[in-house]
């Protein structure tokens, strides 16, 4: 494995200074930074072979179409999908979830049906289902959470019933970092023939994702959270579902034959890819997955476990600091508050010290409501961060405490 110095030099932005101080980037949960290879690959599309995909008969269009389809194959291999046709490019996790909420909803959801989500969901895995429930007269059921920031799995088993038509849960909580027991969730749902969507926005970058072994019916993630470009995401779906579902959006490339009387739809995966897709993003995402594979996903996991342990130890030792999300099974995301100090104040002062964290509700207001708080400060760490940076954060927190004491 490359050493940390080599890894950091792959990411140009990590050498940046803000307010004259070295950047400490702990907002990886919101978006990750990009290695040079990703930047180069997008740059190469735009400078060397930019052309609309699946359209032209000409040389450049062939090149970009081929690179785009190779990217699809790369994603399929990375998540161990059975076929590349099961991989749909979207605009991001939100786009992927909305696609299923619409298409699955139109096809299968009737009044009185139930959809199960968990308390830990990002708003992107709450609101599309609420909109569907409103449209169809269906009911949203929520797996409750506990003090540690995990879900109460026994309650999930009780919620499953003949009325349940879909389970949609996050793999990892974005606000607290908790890893959910998705395998158990999927097994239980499947025993009752209920399909499961897994929101992998915070899972894809922190370990090995094998949709085959997981056996989920749908898996969604965003390119920009796994060191790729923004505006590109993935919807993986088992072929048996995707071929049954109606398309989400109509437009170019998703059609087979169009007349004013009737339109027939293209085959998978194109049925779900209406309009000109973000092919530079898709090609950039493939470069990001190549980068992650080259570093080694086991290596990334191992390094992140060490960083989590170091950060948890150091931060727990700070007087008046409370960590939200204390599950034994979590990614290196540390959500915290300082006693008597508002998260915005903490975030503003850390920012001035060159430390980028996120403050607020993290698009997970129910989780904040559960703890009776308005928000937290979230330091989301990843493999290119260092223990020295965690020391800087700890020093920054001490400074905040001295200013607001």
Partner 1 sequence: MTINEIQDNIIDEFSLFDDWMDKYNLLIDMGKDVSPVDPKFKVKDFLIEGCQSKVWLHPEFDGHLITFTADSDAIITRGIVALLIKVLSGRTPEEIITAELYFIDRIGLRQNLSPTRSNGLLSMVRQMKLFAMAYDAKQKQI
Catalytic residues: 363
Nearer to partner 1, 274 or 341 (CB): 341
Nearer to partner 1, 314 or 342 (CB): 342
Q: Which of 278, 361, 385, 386 contacts partner 1 by CB under 8 A?
A: 361
- H/E element, 168: strand 164-170
Grouping H, G, I as helix, E, B as strand and the rest as coil, residue 231 is coil
d(CA 314, CA 247): 50
Strands 355-356 and 24-25: parallel
Cβ of residue 345: shortest distance to partner 1, in angstroms? 5
Reduced 3-state DSSP string for 175-194: CCCEECCHHHHHHHHHCCCC
Q: Judged by CB under 8 A, does residue 19 bind partner 1?
A: yes
Grouping H, G, I as helix, E, B as strand and the rest as coil, residue 316 is helix
Q: State the DSSP code for 12.
A: G
Number of residues that bind partner 1 (CB under 8 A): 17
Q: Which of 348, 369, 387, 395 contacts partner 1 by CB under 8 A?
A: 348
Q: Judged by CB under 8 A, does residue 27 bind partner 1?
A: no
Nearer to partner 1, 150 or 347 (CB): 347
Nearer to partner 1, 19 or 59 (CB): 19
Q: Which of 62, 69, 215, 374 contacts partner 1 by CB under 8 A?
A: 374
Site for partner 1 in 375-404 (CB under 8 A): 375, 403-404
Segment lying near partner 1 (by CB under 8 A), choices 116-124, 149-157, 179-187, 352-360: 352-360
Are 41 and 284 in contact by the 8 Å Cβ rule? The answer is yes
The length of the chain, given as a count of residues: 405
Nearer to partner 1, 155 or 345 (CB): 345
d(CA 282, CA 236): 14
Grouping H, G, I as helix, E, B as strand and the rest as coil, residue 232 is coil
Site for partner 1 in 317-346 (CB under 8 A): 341-345
Q: Judged by CB under 8 A, does residue 352 bind partner 1?
A: yes
Neighbours of 305 (CB within 10 A): 15
List of residues contacting partner 1 (CB under 8 A)? 19, 341-345, 347-349, 352, 359-361, 374-375, 403-404
């Amino acid at each position: 494995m490359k050493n940390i110095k080599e890894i950091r030099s792959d990411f140009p932005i990590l050498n940046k200074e803000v307010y004259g101080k070295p950047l400490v980037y702990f907002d990886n949960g919101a978006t990750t930074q990009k290695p040079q290879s990703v930047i180069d690959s997008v740059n190469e599309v735009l400078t060397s072979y930019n052309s609309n995909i699946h359209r032209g008969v000409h040389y450049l269009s062939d090149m970009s179409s081929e690179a785009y389809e190779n990217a699809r194959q790369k994603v399929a291999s990375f998540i161990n999908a059975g076929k590349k046709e099961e991989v749909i490019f979207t605009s991001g996790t939100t786009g992927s979830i909305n696609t299923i909420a619409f298409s699955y909803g139109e096809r299968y959801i009737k009044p009185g049906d139930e959809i199960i989500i968990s308390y830990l969901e990002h708003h992107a895995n709450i609101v599309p289902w609420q909109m569907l429930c409103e449209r169809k007269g269906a009911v949203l059921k929520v797996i409750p959470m506990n003090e540690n920031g995990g879900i109460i799995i026994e309650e999930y088993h009780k919620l499953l019933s003949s009325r349940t038509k879909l389970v949609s849960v996050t793999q990892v909580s974005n606000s607290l970092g908790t890893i959910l027991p998705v395998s158990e969730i999927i097994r239980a749902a499947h025993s009752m023939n209920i399909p499961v969507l897994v929101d992998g926005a915070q899972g894809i970058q922190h370990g090995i994702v094998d949709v085959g072994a997981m056996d989920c019916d749908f898996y969604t993630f965003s390119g920009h959270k796994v060191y790729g470009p923004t505006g590109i995401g993935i919807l993986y779906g088992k072929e048996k579902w995707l071929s049954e579902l109606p398309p989400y959006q109509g437009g170019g490339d998703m059609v087979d034959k169009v007349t004013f009387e009737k339109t027939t739809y293209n085959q998978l995966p194109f049925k779900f890819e209406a309009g000109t897709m973000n092919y530079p993003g898709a090609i950039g995402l493939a470069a990001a997955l190549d980068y992650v594979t080259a570093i080694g996903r086991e290596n990334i996991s191992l390094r992140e476990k060490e960083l989590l342990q170091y950060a948890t130890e150091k931060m727990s030792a700070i007087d008046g600091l409370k960590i939200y999300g204390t599950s034994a099974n979590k990614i290196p995301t540390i959500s915290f508050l300082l006693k008597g100090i508002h998260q915005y104040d903490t975030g503003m002062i850390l920012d001035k010290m060159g430390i980028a964290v996120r403050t607020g509700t993290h698009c997970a207001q129910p989780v904040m409501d559960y703890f009776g708080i308005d928000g937290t400060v979230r330091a989301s760490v990843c493999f290119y961060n260092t223990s020295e940076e965690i020391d800087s954060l700890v020093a920054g927190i001490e400074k905040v405490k001295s200013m607001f004491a």
